[in-house]
Chain A
Amino acid sequence: MDRLDLTVNGHQRTMVPDAAHTTALDWLRNNGLTGCKEGCAEGECGACAVLVAQSDGDGGTTWTSINACLVPIAALDGQEIITSEGLGSPDKLHPVQERMAVAGGSQCGYCTPGFVCSMASEFYRRGRGANATGATGESHGPNGFDLHSLSGNLCRCTGYRPIRDAAYALAEPDVDDALAARRDRPAPGPALTDVQAPDGRFVRPATLADTLALRAENPLAVVVAGSTDWGVEVNIRGRRERLVIAIDRLLELGTIEFGDEFIEIGAAVSLSEVERFLAGRVPLLAELIPQFASRLIRNRATIGGNLGTGSPIGDLAPALLALDARLVLASPGGERDVYLSEYFTGYRTSVLRPDELIRLIRIPLPLAHLTGFHKITKRRFDDISSVAVAFALDVRNGLVHDARIGLGGVAATPLRARATEALLIGQPWGAQTVHRAAASLAGEGTPMSDHRASAEYRSIMLSQSILKLFAQSTATLGARA
């Protein structure tokens, strides 16, 4: 079954791919849809953004913006894709295109098709209008438009103001808007893709059991969910693999369950879905997720993938460490449960065996009362942390009963600040304790100097993070006027 079937801009396309690693971007461009642009080929600029029809979890469809540069076209087998060309044409502009054009939202125009797709995704977001307050907030328009939806799109010309104005001027979709109507019907299900091409094979198994069996037969296979990390490897470092196994649509990895003892999040749930379905129930994650990469990335990147890559920074890991999360690892022989704090073994290595997959992440309940996530970056949106610090403190009656602090960017793996935790526990939550903890935190890990930050700054930022948390917790931090 070496054939892919796609619906692109409403038209059926059937293709026999000549390469398993071909990205959606290259495929679209080579098929005449050159509005999709390559700006960086690593999911940073959004010039390649397109829309795909994804399940909204409630029987309908959400038009989800993704970076076409990172996704193999084979991963979109059976799916519906809309590009800027499909949204409208010069003599029949889509409302988003119309606003962008008249607002002066394009100068050189190269980033524009991607912006249009990201903006259209937010235009069609259900409930956007319900958030409309008529007033402009820090990152929300009077029409409920969330500016974070454009955080993965870079423009070098405009300075963004006209793009924001275009976004904030969008009305609700018209009643006869076909893409709006499409939201009421289910999104396409996963296709059982199996593509063999000279450069490799791309397979999407039907079940977890099939996946584990295939993995066991091919221990060197690469397992891919959102492909936001793998896509960079393919594009920038020229990685090619004989076998790529897609797991992002596995039902067994795709649910969120709220129990009495745990919240369980399937490993293949995207970060956008985590954000949407948790709906603030885990404040630490609610604080973190908007700072995690960009919406374009979060729409594809999965919670399990972020842990599976074993990045020493990986913003989720410090937070999940602070939440004392556990991972359920599945293999043909059964399942085991490991603490995240015991999962990482070294730089991009873990206890995960070649025949295992991360099936889900367990966050124990109840949650700590006092949490905070401090991400130190050069740029506020969509930047990789120099250091990331997550706190989960149980402070009752002025005493620290329990403390967990997760650190990223200060060692070969994300880690717990054990010495500082020990120092805090049993102590009063006051200036003296906090200053001692700050001094201790500066000694945790072994930060390095690189292009993001100096070791000195990283180390001091660890100290500063608890000072800031304390200042915030005691409300001495100046309120914004």
Chain B
Amino acid sequence: MSTLSDRPENSVVGVPEPHESAALHVTGRALYTDDIATLRRDTLTAWPVQAPHAHAHIIALRTEPALVVPGVVRVLTAADVPGVNDGGIWNDEPLFPTEVMYFGQAVCWVLGETLEAARLGAAAVEVDYEVLPSLITVPEAIAAGSFQGAHRITRRGDVDAALATAPHVFTGEWEFSGQEHFYLETMASLAYYDEGGQMYVQAGTQHPSETQEIVAHVLGISSNAVTVQCVRMGGGFGGKEMQPHGLAAIAAIGATCTGRAVRLRLNRTQDLTMTGKRHGFHVAWTVGFDDNGRILGLKASLTADGGWSLDLSDPVLARALCHLDNAYWIPAIEAHGQVAKTNKTSQTAFRGFGGPQGIMVIEDILGRCAAPLGIDPALLRRRNFYAPGQTTPYGQPVRHAERMEAIWSQLLDKSEFAERSAQIEAFNAVNPHIKRGLAITPVKFGISFNVAAFNQAGALVLVYKDGSVLINHGGVEMGQGLHTKMIQVAATALGVPRASVRLAPTRTDKVPNTSATAASTGADLNGGAVKNACDQIRERMSVVAGGMLGANPTDVRFSQGKIHALGVHGQELTFADVAKVAYQQRVQLSAAGYYRTEGLHWDAEAWRGSPFKYFAYGAAAAEVEVDGFTGAYRTLRVDIVHDVGDSLSPIIDIGQIEGGFVQGAGWLTLEDLRWDTTDGPGRGRLLTQAASTYKLPSFSEMPEEFNVTLFEHAHEDGAIYGSKAVGEPPLMLAFSVREALRQAAARFGPAGRMTELASPATPEAVFWALTAAKQALATTAPGVDAPGAKRIPVLADS
């Protein structure tokens, strides 16, 4: 075991702890950005003027009518930008545009004494547009050759030869939808010049350092004059990795122009219409199998809908291509990836970051092809698992490949898969109008940022004379429980009770140059840095304690706030005693910690390397019930076995698994982003721009029985205290629901037929799938009239 992963006895990590802010959450005392802004009395409120066209030149902008609205203080325009008029990192996102690139883009911002004044002011601003042709769908962009970023290719073996000789070849082409983050707390920031004269920004951001950099370059000042703090967020899910920066910059410009504090909080409609989402993809594929269902070759082309600017689309696409294989050995592969440029919101990071889209491609292929191959889908999947010693298409050895097989067989047992499959067959045989499906799907997900430089972190740990401990680290809390884990890590590393450790809000003036809290790496990176800082302090305190106990410092042990030395009996010191003495001896009781992930390398041009520190594995078995009359369905039971290494914090990890699963199921079944693709005046408008039209999973989508098991004996040598990352991988366990729906729909038709299913698999989509199955049955069964018109359901013969 490595020092990093070695877990002491009686450690605070591994203990089930509720969220560190749980008592604040439940009593309404936990503060979020706009709460802080609301509790101030002197803030101005910023409100956007949103363009009503998907693509247009701005011919004229008249702000004077807004200025006469009572309470309007100022209208911010490009002329007010002291530095660079751009809120992105690729210089392709003007904060105040001359060319509108998507419907709802902000063209200027109104500052008001109240929200009402700012809103009315924005309504009074007059803008003249010259409307330009727009590209809304991915096929439109492909036809127009509208792409951005790099064209990437992943390639291994001779795929054309493999497909030419494969006994079973299938092809497909389809599009699947993106997903709105719908963090409950919308984008928010508060900016003012503090008593030290620096620009202070409280923002809901997953990347405070980048928010700081963008604010600095927009204001034309250096990073040391800007401090960004994030106390906590009401959810992020990737949506606040890149896109809060420009909004924080607007607030900062407002504060610069007026000398007042400025709050900017998007309301739900603005957040939905202005910020990016998970990328929808267009994919085309050809796959070849041998007679046993083993994949021989896969040729695929993936086009991500990037929206109007590049944002994080390049690395999202990279991760999609790196997860096309999911858990499967694909001996010959050629997959192309491109990012379409369309006149929509700039699509961005979302839990899984392209991984779900890559896995969608292969899981859809296996789900479609199992029936025509005549192989049970569960068996087909298992037959294609990686074997130990095999490598991914990009050349990384698949370490711990045997875990996939172990998890799979454990889950088959725990879910009583075989018995329930038989019961479902019996149920389906006697129920003409209701069918059930039970599907099991795997996940293998690579952990680390694909860009090696991002895999570093810092921390600041302070021990006070009374023995209390205050920690800072570079990661942000958005509900995922990172702070809880970091407190547990610090308590473990210093050998103090959990209650001795407090955590201070994330600030760029405490820990600089941090990476985004993203890619599931928050605990790995920041945990490494916190432990490093604690180890430095403990080492120094060991010398002090050794002196006090008359023992060798290497024999000093810290546990639960008490310090003793091996071989010294009957003498025990408290952590506070030693801290006090250390101070008197002029021993430093604080430390800056640092961590970087070792062993990563990635050549993006050659598309080769080992970009991931390790893989997280898991599998889920889902049972659904489909109403043949309507396509409506329920998720009856879900069983999951998932690999989180040795869990740092079991309640937190199980919460991430369950929450990720339900969020993934939402993407795959319910959440239905619709855009106006007509040529009418609303072209490019997001049609589902409210909670009433964009439906998230509610209690009714929760599996009625939901059993989550953490994979045991799962020590991960390369990560903090033997744990593994957990934020993203479980989202992809939800493919089990989609595949169960496919199987249930197929049961309305003849065996051996390929069942296509749209994504999201809404009740309507499931209805069309089962209707096609019924029609196939009708056309094959003698004596039953098949209705002539397509998509008319076969009326159940009662």
**Which residues from chain A sit less than 8 Å from chain B, CB to CB?**
19, 29-30, 32-42, 44-45, 47, 83-85, 87-91, 93, 96-98, 100-113, 116, 138, 147, 150-151, 153-162, 164, 199, 232, 236, 238, 374, 376-384, 386, 431, 434-435, 438, 450-454, 456-457, 460-461, 463-465, 467-468, 470-471, 474, 476-478, 481
Contacts and interface: CB of A to CB of B under 8 A. Distances in A.
Interface of B: 18-19, 21-32, 35, 38-39, 116, 119, 123, 181-186, 232-235, 237, 267-269, 423, 427, 430-434, 478-481, 627, 629-630, 632, 634, 651-652, 654-655, 658-663, 670, 672, 674, 687-688, 690-693, 695-704, 706, 762-764, 767-768, 791-793, 795-798
A380 B235 contact: no
Given A34-B39, A106-B19, A112 B26 contact: yes
9 contacts: A30-B38, A39-B186, A85-B27, A100-B25, A101-B18, A376-B632, A381-B698, A467-B798, A478-B432
A86 B795 CA distance: 56
Contact of B691 (A39, A98, A481): A39
Nearest to A439: B795
Contacts of A87: 27
B792 A460 contact: yes
A117 to B, nearest CB: 9
Contacts of A467: 629, 795-796, 798
A378 B696 CA distance: 10
A113 B66 CA distance: 37
Contact of B185 (A103, A110, A153, A158): A110
Contacts of B687: 450-451
A158 B658 contact: yes
B27 A89 contact: yes
Contacts of B21: 106, 109
Contacts of A474: 798
Contact of A477 (B267, B434, B670): B434
Contact of A452 (B19, B670, B693, B792): B693
Nearest to B704: A138
Nearest to B184: A110
B587 to A, nearest CB: 35
A414 B309 CA distance: 44
Given A104-B19, A156-B182, 17 more contacts: A19-B116, A32-B39, A39-B268, A84-B28, A107-B655, A108-B234, A109-B232, A109-B234, A109-B479, A110-B184, A110-B234, A156-B181, A378-B670, A378-B762, A380-B698, A465-B629, A476-B432
A108 B184 contact: yes
Nearest to A90: B23
Given A108-B233, A108-B234, A109-B232, A380 B791 contact: no
A171 B67 CA distance: 57
B793 A236 contact: no
A87 to B, nearest CB: 7
B699 A151 contact: yes
A379 B30 CA distance: 30
Contacts of A112: 25-26, 30
B691 A378 contact: no
A159 B697 CA distance: 8
Contacts of A155: 184
A464 B268 contact: no
Nearest to A116: B26
B497 to A, nearest CB: 18
B658 A42 contact: no
Nearest to B25: A109
Q: Among B25, B234, B695, B797, which residue has the most Cβ atoms of chain A within 10 A?
A: B25
A379 B268 contact: no
Contact of A44 (B181, B632, B661, B692): B692
A83 B706 CA distance: 31
Contact of B26 (A100, A376, A450): A100
Contacts of B663: 156, 159
A374 B370 CA distance: 35
Contacts of B702: 159-161, 164
Contacts of B268: 39-42
Nearest to A109: B25
B798 A42 contact: no
Given A107-B19, A109-B232, A85 B29 contact: yes
Contacts of B232: 108-109
Contacts of A162: 655, 658
B26 A379 contact: no
Contacts of B267: 38, 41
Contacts of A29: 35, 38
Given A32-B39, A35-B27, A35-B28, A42 B698 contact: no
Contacts of B768: 457
B24 A384 contact: no
A467 B774 CA distance: 16
A378 B27 CA distance: 33
Nearest to B650: A104
A101 B26 contact: yes
Contact of A39 (B184, B433, B655, B697): B184
Given A90-B23, A380-B634, A164 B691 contact: no
Nearest to A382: B698
A478 to B, nearest CB: 3
Contacts of B791: 456, 460
A206 to B, nearest CB: 31
A379 B795 contact: no
B165 to A, nearest CB: 42
A159 B798 contact: no
A382 B293 CA distance: 43
A38 B674 CA distance: 24
B692 A108 contact: no
Contact of B431 (A42, A160, A478): A478
Contacts of B28: 33-36, 83-85, 113, 116
Given A45-B691, A110-B234, A379 B700 contact: yes
Contact of A42 (B32, B661, B692): B692
B763 A377 contact: yes
B690 A40 contact: yes
B688 A451 contact: yes
A148 B790 CA distance: 39
Closest 6 CB pairs of A and B: A35-B28, A108-B479, A110-B234, A109-B25, A478-B431, A159-B662
A391 to B, nearest CB: 14
Contact of A97 (B26, B235, B796): B26
A299 B481 CA distance: 34
Contacts of A457: 764, 767-768
A478 B431 CA distance: 5
Contacts of B18: 101-104
A147 B235 contact: no
A93 B24 CA distance: 10
Contacts of B696: 154, 156
A459 to B, nearest CB: 10
B691 A44 contact: yes
A457 B764 CA distance: 7
Contacts of A32: 39
Given A42-B692, A106-B19, A107-B19, A481 B427 contact: yes
A157 B480 CA distance: 8
Contacts of B793: 460, 463-464
A89 B28 CA distance: 9
A21 B454 CA distance: 48
A159 B698 CA distance: 8
A451 B29 CA distance: 38
Contacts of B688: 451
Contacts of A101: 18-19, 22-23, 25-26
B29 A147 contact: no
A17 B479 CA distance: 36
Contacts of A236: 269, 690
Contacts of A381: 698-700
Contacts of A451: 672, 674, 687-688, 693
B7 to A, nearest CB: 22
